[in-house]
Structure 1
């Protein structure tokens, strides 16, 4: 393990030098991107891949899929210029890998920008849209404006059951729109079922699947007794695209850097990267921006990271919009189900994801409904899903909307669904459009199980409470087609859901209506002594590995300074001597040892490896600071 890591570190250093040299050329052609699949078979392999994942923004990598245990895959997108470095790291550490997508841009063009054959999907779309007067074009990817126009068309055709709602505005000025579905749509006394998708911009299949659910609730009302009962007795709040800015940006070009954008589009910031190139970064991972153990694990404080958590909880307009409508008088205390759809890897995830072996007290109810939903989903096409917390079957992460909805929103049934494809399929986020309708059908089958559970919960609640007086008649329709939720304060009124370890799980009433009260303290987390000891041991091991790695880097840097950088010296045209390099001026003659740049000390403080990573640049401008003379 130690030997392989040392060689891996040296390979990292030498490769960064090569990348740094190439970055000085401002006229490079458009980058080509490759996806590589690595398969860790030992804990050492897993630790190395996690190190790459935790620092992917520094290594210029994009992890599509992160392995959570041995024998699970890591799908990594890398620029072709950095492919040799990545393969060297994996080869030197004996990690099996293969290239699955040799040209990501070409796959995007083939999958998403070639017209479909006239007969390939029309019959399927017609079949699935039967019964809905507002036609959408299922089986295809559509723009945000098209989706909004379709929801407005539903409202026009079904004014008693559907109403388009706006819950906020994005950084770029787009309204965050969804649709409320329920008989007597202006009633606010019914229990609530929440569904959203598109919180991550590149997950187009999740957006389509949410649209499919909207279509089923409208189209099946007259033919499916469960749908009729649900629409009559519940209010559905459905948001196909919670991240409109990011979604539209991901549709604006075929470059992988655009199509595979993950975050929102909040303000950009520019800074120098490791190779002193100007790098502009922006956006926040909205699913790390909710106030549930925010910023503690599985996220980053670096704005350039794909999992940047934001400046503070609810720093983004999109996450604030979700919070404000969930805590509004119309929804507060009434939401019985919260489903958020993502892609990919075929997982049905329940809270909590911020720490392993940590679940809500009503886990037995959540597991029973979740596993039944997976069974219904699998019965359609045989698609296999895994079930558990995100921390246990994926990796720990905090700040997610699902955990917040359970822990502070008091929602009974909360699930995050990672849709098709599975981990074994290599195309990841660029799902073939021919799989969109099958994905929608099987997901709808699982969602209907959760709908049944919410209706059962409603019946149980009515049976244990006194009959309520009949609701007042609905108010007249507003003058516009949109209802806007507003709040008078940014303070979140929250409740907390007790959480505990899997064993034992303390018993509690099947349902107890929670009163939402302000809470300034973090909800208490009860974990077993075994879990606490394991966490402490993992922390100590991680610190030991980091200390060892830092020592190896210092040793390698000192060794390289003593013997000179062979690769960098071979590229110099001003000296062919095999002895210790002599610092020369621009005319070739010797000069005194001095720094040309006033920023050398600052660069050294920022990164102790800068003299090795960018040796050509630093040899020229920071010879004294780097001790090249």
Structure 2
């Protein structure tokens, strides 16, 4: 075995643990100089390393968390492979603890005061989000309808909110949107809530988006994981669902819901290791949360036009396929809609969003929800990766929420307008 192979094996032995104590953990930024180094990053991500963002192309940088136990071998690998890098944070635990304390203060200073909109002053719990959409249904009974569509592994209620213009016309075309697939991506539910607010509480400004379309929204697709990341500093960067799985006597929690769909399931870009952040699950749709999304997609496939799933981070508008570098026959329609969103954001804010198929722009990831939605019959299927913030990218400070969600709505509105124009 080559020296590189030995080091890769040693690094791979450090599996992602069920719980993290991030004290002494470091964040490195890595910049591959050639295709071989890009492939090295991908291999490390499959061997248990938590890449905060994985970018394998030249000129792009990736960030990875390195534990104290991994540090010696990791730095040896960097040296031997002459991989350009920089140390971004030398004690992630201390940073997360400070940010968690700040969020606790924000929660006390900005409680929900009865009925009305949620502010963009802080992030909200799954229960608070559910209470908000319940309130919308009470206040706008002719235009807002709720449905319990399932339960998470830990028995949290999953509700969709259907937003209409109140004309009671049946069988309209559908735009289905979800947020909160990955637990640590808090800005995703925040952005989805802002979209709901625009469509419901600012209906007069957006009535044309609801004339021939109903919007069906699942604000938090992975509530167990989302709630877990709000319990304390050890859990903040958790990514998956919360169903437990055993490996060599160790309990690791959850599957990656965005690798758990039954379309090229567990192929490249997914892991069979229950302790990996990209664990595809023991079988397709092993997670009750992905079963819920699957059932919604099939329920509305005959009139579903656009599926939009909100993630973070990286400023991408991605479309199928994620399991192969080949493009669908209708890729131009997908590209037109995605570019409408990217162009609108660029014009309004100056923020650049890269547009293209998931595999060609970002990386291969089989078993994802956007591929499955397109396969199930939705004409347009797009993953929107929002802007990042904070030291990890997944923790934009509360002061940035309003800026990010407003920017996201500009892109989503433009994409919806393009969909209406085309379909």
Q: Give TM-score, length-normalised by structure 1.
A: 0.62
Equivalence map 1:287-326=2 (5 Å): 287-326=258-297
In 2, the alpha carbon distance for the partners of 1:402 and 1:175 equals 23
1:133-171 deviation line (CA, Å, top 9, x unaligned) = 722122311110010001111111111111222111111
In 1, the alpha carbon distance for the partners of 2:11 and 2:401 equals 41
Instruction: Could you tell me which runs of 5 or more consecutive residues in structure 2 were left unpaired when the two chains were aligned.
Output: 16-20
Q: In 2, are the aligned partners of 1:166 and 1:176 still within 8 Å (CA)?
A: yes
Deviation, 1:8, is 4.2
Q: In 2, are the aligned partners of 1:64 and 1:76 still within 8 Å (CA)?
A: yes
In 2, the alpha carbon distance for the partners of 1:15 and 1:32 equals 18
What SS does structure 1 have at the residue aligned with 2:41? Answer: helix
Q: In 1, are the aligned partners of 2:12 and 2:47 still within 8 Å (CA)?
A: no
Within the alignment, does 1:236 sit opposite 2:215 as a pair? yes
Say if 1:115 and 1:367 are closer, same or farther in 2 by CA, change over 3 A.
closer
Match of 1:338? 307
Match of 1:110? 98
Say if 1:319 and 1:426 are closer, same or farther in 2 by CA, change over 3 A.
same
In 2, the alpha carbon distance for the partners of 1:299 and 1:380 equals 36
In 2, the alpha carbon distance for the partners of 1:117 and 1:201 equals 21
Match of 1:393? 361
Within the alignment, does 1:433 sit opposite 2:398 as a pair? yes
Say if 1:15 and 1:454 are closer, same or farther in 2 by CA, change over 3 A.
closer
Q: In 1, are the aligned partners of 2:53 and 2:62 still within 8 Å (CA)?
A: yes
Match of 2:18? none
Deviation, 1:115, is 5.6
Say if 1:413 and 1:30 are closer, same or farther in 2 by CA, change over 3 A.
closer
Equivalence map 1:241-390=2 (5 Å): 241-255=220-234, 258-271=235-248, 278-328=249-299, 331-356=300-325, 358-390=326-358
Equivalence map 1:181-196=2 (5 Å): 181-184=163-166, 188-196=170-178
In 1, the alpha carbon distance for the partners of 2:137 and 2:393 equals 34
Instruction: Could you tell me which runs of 5 or more consecutive residues in structure 1 were left unpaired when the two chains were aligned.
Output: 21-28, 123-132, 272-277, 459-629
1:313-357 deviation line (CA, Å, top 9, x unaligned) = 2222111111212222xx23111111001111111101111111x
Match of 2:81? 93
Higher relative contact order (CA 8 A, sep 6+): 2
Deviation, 1:15, is 8.1
Deviation, 1:426, is 5.0
Match of 1:36? 28
Match of 2:374? 406
What SS does structure 1 have at the residue aligned with 2:227? Answer: helix
In 1, the alpha carbon distance for the partners of 2:208 and 2:22 equals 55
Deviation, 1:449, is 1.5
Equivalent residue for 1:452, pick from 412, 417, 421: 417
What SS does structure 1 have at the residue aligned with 2:161? Answer: strand
Deviation, 1:47, is 2.8
1:239-298 deviation line (CA, Å, top 9, x unaligned) = 11000111111111111xx11111111133242xxxxxx522121111111121111211
In 2, the alpha carbon distance for the partners of 1:333 and 1:441 equals 31
In 1, the alpha carbon distance for the partners of 2:250 and 2:103 equals 36
Q: In 2, are the aligned partners of 1:134 and 1:157 still within 8 Å (CA)?
A: no
Equivalent residue for 2:195, pick from 198, 203, 213: 213
Say if 1:94 and 1:450 are closer, same or farther in 2 by CA, change over 3 A.
same
Q: In 1, are the aligned partners of 2:23 and 2:94 still within 8 Å (CA)?
A: no
Q: In 2, are the aligned partners of 1:162 and 1:185 still within 8 Å (CA)?
A: no
What SS does structure 2 have at the residue aligned with 1:114? Answer: helix
Deviation, 1:106, is 2.5
In 1, the alpha carbon distance for the partners of 2:366 and 2:9 equals 32
Match of 1:148? 130
CA RMSD of aligned residues (A): 2.8
Match of 1:134? 116
1:367-408 deviation line (CA, Å, top 9, x unaligned) = 22221210101122211111111100111111111011112x
Deviation, 1:217, is 0.9
What SS does structure 2 have at the residue aligned with 1:194? Answer: strand
Say if 1:433 and 1:348 are closer, same or farther in 2 by CA, change over 3 A.
same
Q: In 1, are the aligned partners of 2:32 and 2:56 still within 8 Å (CA)?
A: no
Whose strand fraction is larger, Structure 1's or Structure 2's? 2
1:499-549 deviation line (CA, Å, top 9, x unaligned) = xxxxxxxxxxxxxxxxxxxxxxxxxxxxxxxxxxxxxxxxxxxxxxxxxxx
In 2, the alpha carbon distance for the partners of 1:438 and 1:112 equals 21
In 2, the alpha carbon distance for the partners of 1:416 and 1:396 equals 14
Q: In 2, are the aligned partners of 1:207 and 1:241 still within 8 Å (CA)?
A: yes
In 1, the alpha carbon distance for the partners of 2:116 and 2:273 equals 44
Deviation, 1:116, is 9.3
